[in-house]
Structure 1
Amino acid sequence: MELSTDISDFTRRDFTFNGKTKPVLTLGDAGPAVIVIHEVYGFTPPLARFCRWIADAGMRVYAPILLGTPDAGNPAVITRGRILHLCVSREFTILRSNRSSPIVDWLKPLARQAHAECGGPGVGAIGMCLTGGFALSMAVDPVMLAPALSQPGMPPRDAPALDISAADLACVKARTEQEGLEIRGYRFAGDPLSRPEKFETLRTVFGSSFKGTELPDSAGNPDSPLGRAGRPPHSVMTGDLIDAPGQPTRAAADDVIAFFKTRLAA
């Protein structure tokens, strides 16, 4: 079933931090804040669905628009123009290992603003694919209490490496040891972009503080663009998710939503 591009239930707001203004789609009237960072495609109907599930669970969603247009009309395809933009952009570090992307310096104050508006003990965040590691980098800030990484893929040329600086990684590790910070991760077992070596690195660094869920490729949606092309599934929470009872991908979405709700409970 094709999802609607209608997102009239969301509210657009523009936020300015560090001299940069970006639109943010918000949803939910109350509850702690969760930052939902879209994939390389931008904001899409499957992402809007995932945001609604979080809001329905009693939390308020902040979905920053880092690429594409601030609506759900962005197609789930990677265009040549998008790749060229990323290659020359100073906001994203996509090829270099052990570097935090500069855009994280805009996302961290967004998280603090969301916390100020919503209250509670802190905020949660989830990044996906290109942005998968952003939630980890954001966790240097004490306001971040529930970071989640869905199919983290950067940097693509160095399978075990993470897109976070050594200093930021050490800071997050200290928080897991001193504050009990927990981290979640999700990927498909055969995903050629989000490689298993990244999860092994996360387990080595964080030990039991990192809980990684790896789904079989058979759990992916055969009717997604990747499924129809005969390629391995990739987008756990969005395009390759099967929204039906008993499906592993829907269970993964429910798991991360429960993680947010538990960690952000007053």
Structure 2
Amino acid sequence: MSAANERPDDDAIEDFSRRLVEVEGVVKTVYVAGAGPAVVLMPEMPGISPDVLRLARWIREAGFTVHVPSLFGVDGAYPTAEAGTEIVRRACVSAEFRAFADGGTSPVTAWLRGLARLAHAECGGPGVGAIGLCFTGNFALTMALEPSVVAPVLNHPSLPLDDPAGLEIGEEDAAAVRDRVARDGLKVLAYRFDNDRWCTGQRFAAYRKLLGDAFDGRVLDGGCARTDPPPFFADVVATPHSVVTAHLVDEAGHPTVKARDEILAFLAERLNPPGERADARTP
């Protein structure tokens, strides 16, 4: 949906170019900014919030071309509890997503892989980074079925909502991802808080079982999460959850800021040509 710019807490997204991107006949809005190798940053519920855009800007400032696709919600809107709850409800019944157990792989991931191909063709470099958040967390793993995706990052992956040990991926796709990770030596970086009820230790254990040592799951103390996040996260999510967005504490040396910097370093290591890796910038 189009960007919201009526309320002071909204983000007008004026420093990104707004593109309409078509993949196999399906058109979606994508916000693009920066220069350098491409990174696809998928939004978390309830949409492309100011905190998601803050992360996108950090990625841009680190020397990448960030692509933020609009998948649900109102682009740029501050996450309120009432509006966010309705967006979650609609997404859970959408044909594009598989929010519950036994649903398999969300169909929207095919479109996201197409976006990665287009971004790689435009931006060049060794490949593309894919960062999922919350509802889209596992999508970054499924995107690794696209050969251009070489740096998948799973932040607090929350699907399926009704199975804390589930992975929101069909058996065939899971086997293909496992094979691709083993064949190409990919690493999968992931983050969660230790007391997150939407992304549990059971889920990380399932990733480890699927991917073995290729899965680098990092767990932060939930006590360090921001205590005054936007209303959707305070009242609906109601648990430490969004490590590098809504629950990040923007203070030097803070564990959530260290997580952000680790993600940027992970992207730089895999996306920058070898001679340029030492020049990767941090915000």
Bucket of the pairwise TM-score, normalised by the shorter protein: over 0.9
Count how many residue pairs are aligned between Structure 1 and Structure 2. Answer: 263
Residues 156-213 of structure 1, C-alpha deviation per residue, up to 9 Å, x if partnerless?
A: 2111110111111111111222211110110011011111111001112212111011
Q: CA RMSD in A?
A: 1.9
User: Which residue of structure 2 lines up, in the alignment, with residue 55 of structure 1?
Assistant: 60
- Aligned counterpart in structure 2 of residue 120 of structure 1, from 95, 120, 125: 125
d(CA) in 1 for partners of 2:193, 2:131: 16
1:42·1:74 contact (CA, 8 Å) conserved in 2? no
TM-aligned CA deviation for residue 80 of structure 1: 4.0
Trace 1:70-85 onto structure 2 (pairs within 5 A): 70=75, 72-77=76-81, 79-85=84-90
TM-aligned CA deviation for residue 236 of structure 1: 0.9
- Aligned counterpart in structure 1 of residue 191 of structure 2, from 180, 186, 190: 186
Identical residues among aligned pairs (%): 40
**What is the TM-score of this pair, normalised by structure 1?**
0.93
d(CA) in 2 for partners of 1:43, 1:16: 19
2:96·2:107 contact (CA, 8 Å) conserved in 1? yes
User: Which residue of structure 2 lines up, in the alignment, with residue 154 of structure 1?
Assistant: 159
Alignment of 1:26 with 2:16, yes or no, is no
User: Which residue of structure 2 lines up, in the alignment, with residue 44 of structure 1?
Assistant: 49
Letter of the 2:18 counterpart = R
Letter of the 2:21 counterpart = F
d(CA) in 2 for partners of 1:218, 1:75: 22
Residues 130-153 of structure 1, C-alpha deviation per residue, up to 9 Å, x if partnerless?
A: 111001011011111001110001
1:98·1:162 contact (CA, 8 Å) conserved in 2? no
- Aligned counterpart in structure 2 of residue 249 of structure 1, from 246, 256, 259: 256
d(CA) in 1 for partners of 2:113, 2:157: 19
**What is the TM-score of this pair, normalised by structure 2?**
0.88
1:44·1:76 contact (CA, 8 Å) conserved in 2? no
Q: Which of 77-86 and 247-256 deviates more?
A: 77-86
d(CA) in 1 for partners of 2:103, 2:46: 24
TM-aligned CA deviation for residue 7 of structure 1: 2.2
Q: Which of 91-100 and 42-51 deviates more?
A: 91-100
Secondary structure of the residue aligned to 1:201 is helix
The runs of 5 or more residues in structure 2 that have no matched partner are 1-7, 274-283
The runs of 5 or more residues in structure 1 that have no matched partner are none
